[in-house]
Structure formats: structure tokens, C-alpha cells
Amino acid sequence: MDKELTIKDIMEIAAKDESRVLELKQSTGELYKAMTSACAFLNTDGGWLFFGVTPKLQVVGQNVTDPTRQEIAIALRKIEPAIDIPAHYIEIEDKPGFYVTALHFPAHLFANAPFTFDGKPYYKVENTTAPMPREMFEERLRMSNPTRFSWENRILDEFDTRDLDIDRLYSIIQMGVLRGRIPGGALAIKAPADILTHLHLSDSDGNMLNAVNVLFGKDPTKYHIQCKLRLARFEGTDMMEFRDQTVCYGNLFEQYDAIVNFCQKHLFLAGKMEKIEREDTLSVPFKALRESVLNLLVHRCWDAYNLTPSVAIYDDRIEFQNPGHFPIGNTYQDFIDAPHSSPINPVIADVFYRCGLMEAWGRGISSIFAECEKAGMPKPEFRIDPHFVTLIVRFKDSLSPRKVDDTINGTINGTINGTINDMLNADELAIVQYIVEHPGAQVSDIMTFTGKSMRTVKRHIARLVELSIVERRGSRKTGGYYSNWKDR
């Protein structure tokens, strides 16, 4: 404190009554319980602890002796990490020898480890003191020392390069170089272990980290059973009946492909389409869809081994349910009002950024809201449960109950005589739809959109050109691919 407290100051503070930032005790006879509240102050928004003030706001004071001071000092030493909290003793003028003891506990600094009292952590829930949940405690530990405590940075001893999806690893480097986010010299790196070092996915001793497996593992569930996600299309607006469902057990890039393909398969059903040039052909604008998928994959909590992320499509909405929570001290509105980057898994997020799939400015949530508003859709919602954060995007128009194949045929008015249904796979369908929505698209754009390697994208495009569904126009450097649908 910058100035010495007076009884007047005490009375003004106490007049606010007990709240999230104030605890009143008549005497140090309640010292142990008071110190649990002190610990909670440190872990939440800070607060005042007064001895000698009753819950009825009567300033009665307490006879403070040397043993009393020692008792308070001993209790303070049970708070860890150690913190210097001075005790202020303010004598009551008309009661000589009687004092109000005041202690101020500052708000938690999230760079510090969570505080405990007598070996247990506490936090404030409104005006009550409660034991801190394990998930919150572990998150505070990770925030205090990300390198030491974060899941993605833990060493995975059993993993070696034979477990790597080498083609995927090389394709991510190619995508990053094309997007200008990885130096061109990285293309000359051939040894997988050296590429992982370049992506900061191994420690100084060359040990591979958990992040390597979930990003580039051939079979990531071999080491991390939680590396999977559920996809479902439900009939109607509840979970009573499935129309389609699957579980993806692949790495995060395979999961990205799976979600995008699944959504494009089922979200072609939105509304009426008067002409093929219509910009928004999905029930959810693609940019909003992509950001929602990336948030799901990049920001999940990996310590919850028994919790699985999911994407559920209903007739009226799509829900992205993710194990975890927002960064402590943040709500979704904070990311809209002042976009900022605060990734739960910064190593994983960096790889997605460097390959060009996401940005580094924390504008994902604000982009989702902006794109939905632009499309005339209802404002997205977040539902916060004890173990999940769920993003709910409601459609402007209910999905048609027709089968997806029929809808795609209807969308293009039969102009390609069933080729879409009979001859194209899901990846090729996705590329065709992207070119329709982005005339002049180049290979690098399509690689970013699909997450596929250059070789795979070129193979798909060659087939689409052969079928005369798309064509290349313009010069080799500045030209791109266009759909032939509208020309037929």
C-alpha cells in the first residue's frame, strides 16, 4: 500500500459488504478458513481480508499480541508460491489495544503458477471460495511455464521417423514455401528429423514431441488414443436419428480434410440456387467454416484422454464441440472486441500458420461472426460446459431433406449429365466447388483450401480438365483454373 490505512478506509471498504473481492472475519479464530479465501483472491481477481470486522459490518477489532502476529505469519507461509503480503494493524481509537488487521492480496498474474494454501488451490466463484478444479489448475500450470508443462511439448520417447507420414510432412513444407511463410531453402532439407527441427517439433536433444505425432503421425492413435474426432449428420434438429456418421482416427491434417469433405458433402443442401455464379453455395460461408474447423483442431485440450471433439450437422445448425475452454481470463467476446492470438497449443498453431492454413492475428472468431453476418445468418453462439466449448452456427435456411447427390444435380441443373455423382470423388468435388466460387484459382490456392500436397492437387485438376469440368485460362504465371459449368 502507498499510504497507511485508517479505520475510515476500513469502514469504506467494508461497507461494500462481502463479495468476490472482500472477506470479513471477526477474529483470527477463523484464520484457516480466511486463508483459503486469501488463496482464492490470488487465483482470481485479488481482494481484501479483514480481521476484526463482523459480517454485519461492525468494526469490533481484536486484541493483537505477538503470538497473533506470528500465527498470521505462519499461515501466510503456507501459501505457495511464496508471496510477500504485509499485514496492516490499525488501532481503534476508542478501544486501546484492539486492532483491525488488514491484508490485501493482488489479482493473479497469469505468468505465475496457481497459488495453493496448505497444499490445495482455491478460487472465487462469485462471493464464495471453492476448491479449484483440476483442469483449471493444470491450465494455470501450463500458462506459468508452457515449455515445461504443455502437453504438446512433452517428449514422446517411443516415436521415431518410421511413424511419420513423410509425404504429408514434405507437402506442408511445400505449402509454407508457396505461401511465403517458410524460407525457400527449407525445400532442400531432406532428412525428416531436420524438418521437424526446422518446425520446432523436437527439443534441443533431438527428441520428438507429442505435437509431432498428432500433426504428422501415420497412426497417431498408436500413441495418443484421443487423436480422433466424430462427424455426424443428424436427421432433423436432435440426435434421435443419424443420416451419416464416421470417426476419423488420422492426424490433424487428415482430420482437417475429413471435416471439410464431410461438411461440403452435407452443406451443399442449403436453400435455393438460381444460378451457378452465386457466391455462397454452402449453408455456412467457407471462410467461417474453415475458421471453425481450425479452432476445433488447433485449440483443443489434449490432456483429456476420454473426451473427443465432434462436428454435428443438423437441419438448422452445425455444432463444433471441442474439449477444453477459452484461455483463462478471456471470453469469446474478448476475441471479437480486440482480436489477439492466445493459442492453447502454440506449437501446433505455428505449424498450421506456417503452412498457410491459418493466420497469426487471432481474428478467427471475429471472422466467423463477420462472415455469418455478411451472409445474413443468425449470430453464432458459444456454449460453455465444464469440459467442452461448443460453437453453434445456425443456418439462414433449413437444410433440404433431399439426398446430397440429388441436390448437387439440382444445383447445376443437370448440365454435366451426372458426372459429379458418378465420376468424381469427395476431394475432386471440393476442388470443383472451390473453383466455382474462386474463378482463376491457382494450384497454391487449392492446396491451401484442401490441405493436400501439390502432387495430389495437380492429379485431381488434371482429371477435372480431362473431363472438361474445369479449364486453365491465361498465362503460365498469372493464369488460373475456371469452371466450365456456366459455359454449358
The tens digit of pLDDT for each residue in 35-46 reads 999 999 998 888
User: CA 478, 481, 487, 488: dihedral to nearest 10 degrees?
Assistant: 160
294-307: average pLDDT: 88
| Average model confidence (pLDDT) across the chain | 84
What per-residue string of b and e applies to 129-148 under the rule 16 or more CB within 10 Å gives b?
beebeebebbbbebbbeeee
CA distance 268 to 279: 13
DSSP 399: B
Does residue 295 contact residue 213 with C-beta atoms inside 8 Å?
A: no
CATH annotation of 156-404? 3.30.565.60
Position 70 scores a pLDDT of 95
Say if residues 35 and 138 touch (Cβ distance below 8 Å). no
Closest CA to 278 of 451, 417, 433: 433
Report domain extents, the chain. Answer: 7-132, 156-404, 412-488
Q: Which residue has the higher pLDDT, 341 or 122?
A: 122
pLDDT digits 0-9 by tens, 466-488 = 878 888 988 877 889 988 754 43
pLDDT value at 25 more than 70: yes
- The CATH number fitting domain 7-132, selected from 3.90.1310.10, 3.30.365.10, 3.30.950.30, 3.50.50.60: 3.30.950.30
In this structure, which CATH number among 1.10.10.10, 3.40.50.10490, 3.40.50.410, 2.40.30.10 belongs to the domain 412-488?
A: 1.10.10.10
Classified as helix, coil or strand, 233 is strand
pLDDT at 306: 84
In this structure, are residues 311 and 331 in contact, taking their beta carbons and an 8 Å threshold?
Answer: no
Confidence of residue 400 (pLDDT cuts 50, 70, 90): low
Range 22-27 average pLDDT: 91
Going by C-alpha positions, the residue among 344, 312, 308 that lies closest to residue 323 is 308
Q: With cut-offs at 50, 70 and 90, classify the pLDDT of residue 10.
A: confident
Question: Mapping DSSP to helix (H, G, I), strand (E, B) and coil, where does residue 260 land?
Answer: helix
User: Of the given ranges (253-262, 347-356, 452-461), which has the lowest mean pLDDT?
Assistant: 452-461
In angstroms, the CA 38 to CA 47 distance is 8
Percent over 90 (pLDDT), the chain = 44
Instruction: Give the pLDDT of residue 17.
Output: 59
What pLDDT, in 10s, does the model give residues 301-331? 898 778 899 999 999 999 999 998 777 667 7
**Paired strand residues for 244:** 233
The reported pLDDT for the residue numbered 391 is: 96
Average pLDDT over residues 400-427: 48
Average pLDDT (108-129) is 84
Cα-Cα-Cα-Cα dihedral sign, residues 87, 88, 89, 92: negative
End-to-end CA distance of the chain: 79
Q: Residue 253 has what pLDDT?
A: 95
In the predicted model, is pLDDT for residue 246 greater than 80? yes
pLDDT at 131: 94
Q: What integer is the mean pLDDT of 241-260?
A: 92
Q: Is residue 12 pLDDT above 60, yes or no? A: yes
pLDDT digits (tens, 9 = 90+) for 126-136: 888 999 988 78
How confident is the model at residue 408, as a pLDDT? Answer: 40
Q: What pLDDT score does 110 carry?
A: 57
Phi-psi region of 91 (alpha: psi -120 to 50; beta: other; left: phi over 0): beta
pLDDT on residue 56? 82
Reported as a pLDDT band with limits 50, 70 and 90, residue 409 is: very low
For residue 372, which of 335, 317, 431 has the smallest C-alpha distance? 317
* CA 266 to mean position of chain CA atoms: 24
Weakest mean pLDDT among 156-160, 288-292, 330-334, 442-446: 330-334
